Chains A and B, each alone.
Chain A
Amino acid sequence: MTNKRGIVLYLHAHQPYRVRKYSVFDSAVNHDYFDDPDYYSERNNEQVFRKVADKSYRPMNALLEKLIATHPEFKVSLSITGVFLEQAEKWAPDVIESYKRLVATGRVEIVAETYYHTLAFFYSMVEFEHQVEAHRNKIRELFGVETKVFRNTELSYNDSMAKWADKYGFKGILAEGWDPILEWRSPNYLYRPTGTDNIALLLKNYRLSDDVAFRFGDKNWPDWPLNADTYCEWVNAAITDKEIVNLFMDYETFGEHQWEDTGIFNFYEAFVGKWLENPANTYYTVSEAIDAFEPVGEISMPYTVTWADTERDLTAWLGNSMQQEALRYIYAMEDDILRTNDLELIGDWRKLQTSDHVYYMCTKWFNDGDVHAYFSPYESPYDAFLYFINVVRDLRWRLHAYHHTGGLNG
C-alpha cells in the first residue's frame, strides 16, 4: 500500500538562563549570574518564563491536546531543551504536566538535542555528547520515552554531524531545506545524508514554515491576513506528487512571536481540520515519516547550514570577535571546570554555553541601524558581552579558588 502524504509538524521550545547586569564589581564576590534582582526586567528569567507560559506554552499545549482529541490523525513532534524543562519545573509545573499528558497520548514524539541548547558540537565533542546524553536522560526521566531523532541547536547541520548522529544510533536528523544546497531537489521527501548508513534526513520546508512562524501577523505582507483555506491550498500545491511537508518552527511562534490577537491559534486549529478533511492527507511524527518512506537521494552539506537569517549560517552566533572570544574563553575552561566536580560550578558553566548568550552579542544588524531586527534583553550587543565577560572572570576566579593555580586575566 502507498502511504498517505503528510505534514511533519515539529515545534522547538526553549528558554535560556539570561545573565543579569553582572558588573565587574560582582566578579569574585557574587556568583548569582542568572538572578536579575529586578523582577520586571527582560533579563529576569522567572518573569519571562511565567509570561511566555501564559502567552504560549499553556494555550498552545491546550490547543495541541484538543487537536489530538478531535483529530485521530493529528500528530506533532517537539523538542524541549533541558534548561526549559528546569525552569518549567520551578515556575510552571503545570506546563510539564500538560507536556506529559501530550506525550502519553503516543502521538507526540520528543526530539533529541543538547540539554543546554548549545553550539558545543563545534567546540568539544566530549561536552557535546555529554549534553545530548543529559537531555535523553531528562526526557526519559520526565516522560518515560526514548528519543530517536536528533536536531542540533538552531537547526545547525553539516555532513559530519549527520555521520555522528548515524553512529550514535539516531534514525533521523533535521536540517534546513535550503535552496543553494537542494538546487533542483524538493525538501518534501526523505533524504540520506552523504557518508551515512542508516540515518534519514528531514528538511524543513522553510517557505511554508516561515509563512506561519514569521509572516503570519505581518500586516505589510501581501498575503496578510492568511486564512486556513489559503494556507491549505499552498500546502496542497507543495505536496502534490511528493510525500511530506516538514513544517519546523519555534514553539513560541504560537502566542509569543505571533500574539493571540493575530488569530494564530484559531488559524492553526482551522487549518488542521481543513487539511485532514481530505482522506489522502495525514500528519506524521518525525519517526513515523522515516518509517513510512524511503530516502529518494543523497544530500551533502559540507559546510554548516542553520535555519537562521537569509545567510542560513552561524554568523548570528559566531560572526564577530566578541562572540568568538566569549565562547573560546568558555570552552577553554572545560577540563579545569570538570575536574572540580563542583556540580554548581559545572552547571553554571554549562548554562553559559547556551547559544542565546552569544546571539545577544550579534552586531550584524545592529550597526546597520536595524536595532529591532532581533530580540535582546540588553541595551546593546556590547552590554551583553560586558556582563558575560564579567561572569567569565568570576568563573575563572572560582576555578582559581579550587585549583589554586592560574591567573585571572588568561
Chain B
Amino acid sequence: MLGWELPPYNTGGLGVACYHMSKALAIQGANIDFVVPYSAIHPGSEFMNVHCATGLLPYERFELGAYDHPILHSDPLSEADTNDLRDMHSVQDRYVKYVEKLVRITKPDIIHAHDWLTIRAGMRAKEITDSPLIVHVHATEFDRSGSISGNPLIHEIEYEGLTMADRIVAVSQITKDLIVQKYNIPADKIEVIHNSIDLDSFNDGHEYDKRTYKYLEAMKQEGYTVVLCLGRLTIQKGLSHLIRAISKASEKYDKILLLIIGEGDQRNDLIEFAADLGISDKIFFAGGFFGGKQKRDAYAGSDIFVLSSVSEPFGLTALEAAHYGNALIITKQSGVGEVLNSVFKYDFWDIDLLADQLIGIATSSALRNSLQQNVQYEYSRISWHDVAAKCLKMYNLQIGAGS
C-alpha cells in the first residue's frame, strides 16, 4: 500500500481514507506494508507495517501535503536531508527508491497506490515485481486545480499511472467519469468504490464544548442558524458562491451565519468579497487546523453543513458533519452525494437554489429535523468493511488474472 500520509499526520481526507481502508482490509485478513514519505510513529496503525521512506519529520512534509501544489521548499529541513529533499520531486525520488528496495526484498501480491504522489513508485514496483498495480484515485490534478488546468507534469504522471495500472479505483462516479473523459481511460477498467466513515473514531469521549465558539452560541440563542463549511480555501471549494448565496439569503432572512474553517490561498479574497457584499458580520473565518477539538466543536455547534465544491471527488467532511447532526447541502459536483439521499443538492453555481435551501432549513424545524435525522441514519449504514470487501474481491480477481 503506497500512501502519502496517515493520521495523525494528515492534511486532509486522503490519510483518513487510507488508514480506515487499510484497517478494514487487515481485519479481513490482508497483510499490509504501508509506505509513507516521512518518519514518525503512527499510534493505532499497529495492524500493518508502516514504512518510513525518508527521514523527514512529518511537519516538514506538511508543506508538501497530498493536496498542495508542488512548490520549492524554502523552509529549513532536518540536517540530514537538506541535500536533496528541497522539493517534492526529491521526496518522490527518495520514496521511489525506498519502494524499489522494499519490493525486491518482499514481493507483494498486489501494489495499491493512492493518488499521483505515489504513482511513480507504484509503476516502478510493478516493473520490478510484475505484480498487479491498482491505482486508487482520490483526486486528480483536475480536481486539485479547480477551474485552472493544473500542472502538466502531474497530468502526465497521472496519465502514465492510469494507463499502466491493471485496475483503477475511483472514489466516486464523478471521478470515474472524469478519468474516462480527461484521460481517455476505458470505463470498464475503473471500479467505483465510495469512501466510508469509521463510526468508532467518533467515540472518543469528545463532548461538545459551547465555549469554543461562544459568540456563535450566543447568536444561536438569539435564533440564528449556523452554517458551516470546512476545507481548504481554494477555488476548488467554491466558497465565493457560498458567500454569495449567504448574501442572497440575507435579503429574505437575515438570521443566518456562516462559519468557515480552513486556510488557503483564497482566504484574503474571500474576506474582501464578503466585505464588498456588506455581510462581513455574518461570516466567521475561524482559521485552519489539523483535526482536534476545535473542528469537532465546529461540527457539533453548527446546524447546516455546506459542501460547496466546484469539483469534489468524494467529500469525507460531509459524512463527519452528518455524524454531528448537521443538515447537509452538497453540490451535485461532489461524489459523496452519490451515497447520500437525505440531503439537499445543488449545482455549485446555483446560488439562488442554495439560498432557498438555506432559508428553508433555517425557517422550518420540520425540514431541519428531517434532514438531520435521516442523514444520520443513512450515513451510519456506510461501512469501511464493505469498502475492504470490494477491494479484496478486486485483488483476488487481479491475482487470478496474472497467474
Contacts and interface: CB of A to CB of B under 8 A. Distances in A.
Interface of A: 23-25, 27, 320-322, 324-325, 363, 366-367, 369, 371, 379-383, 385-386, 389-390, 409
Given A389-B360, A390-B356, A322 B367 contact: yes
A386 B370 contact: no
A171 to B, nearest CB: 41
A322 B363 CA distance: 12
Interface of B is mostly: helix
Contacts of B364: 322, 325, 385, 389
B352 A367 contact: no
B348 to A, nearest CB: 15
Interface string B125-140: 0000000000000000
Contact of B344 (A369, A371, A383): A383
B362 to A, nearest CB: 10
B377 interface: yes
Contacts of B120: none
Contacts of A381: 370
Given A367-B377, A369-B341, A382 B371 contact: yes
B356 A322 contact: no
Given A366-B342, A367-B374, A383-B344, A23 B356 contact: yes
B366 A322 contact: yes
B355 A25 contact: yes
Interface of A is mostly: helix
A24 B364 CA distance: 13
A325 B360 CA distance: 13
A321 B366 contact: yes
B353 interface: yes
Contacts of A386: 344, 356-357, 360, 367
A383 B361 CA distance: 11
Nearest to A366: B341
Contact of B353 (A23, A320, A409): A23
B31 interface: no
Contacts of B369: 321
Contacts of A383: 344
A5 B108 CA distance: 76
Nearest to B370: A322
Nearest to A365: B341
B81 interface: no
Contacts of B353: 23
B114 interface: no
**From B252, B253, B357, B370, residue with most partner A Cβ within 10 Å:** B370
Nearest to B377: A367
B167 interface: no
Nearest to A22: B356
Contacts of A325: 364, 366
A380 B367 contact: no
